[in-house]
Structure 1
Amino acid sequence: MSAIRLLVLAALWKGGPMHGHQVKQAARADRTDLWTEVRPGSLYHALHRMAADGAIRPVRSETVGSRPERTV
């Protein structure tokens, strides 16, 4: 399993349902830069791929203010 998939699964296990930006913030808070070189673009690609593979699933979509819709 790739480091990015482990990062995503660990963040979701620890923090519950979250959107991509929250996963990125959790990774930053956990200092994952010390053990992996995950780039923001690869994070979102991994999230889409993991959803397509059935490893994770969308729970809901949300919009806050004028920001674009986010999938949790």
Structure 2
Amino acid sequence: MQTASTNICERMGRSQELSEFKRGTVIGCHLCNKFIHEISLLLNIPRSTVSSIISKWKQLGATATQPRSGKAC
């Protein structure tokens, strides 16, 4: 018999980062006046991810991943 915590860990997978190309594709679609839900359906990405990519692009002007906090190797 498995414990409840084991079942939760098996069901919940870690998400992968989107590639630079896919983020650029999202921005390209946005610049072509596509709606967020259209981009989401076209690229098979959740709407929240698409809106997050677009808002970060508007703030920072780039789609590259930003460094995370923590110990540098």
Q: Which has the larger radius of gyration?
A: 2
Check whether TM > 0.5.
no
Greater relative contact order (CA < 8 Å, ≥ 6 in sequence): 1
Choose between structure 1 and 2: higher strand proportion.
1
Q: What TM-score comes out, normalization by structure 2 length?
A: 0.38
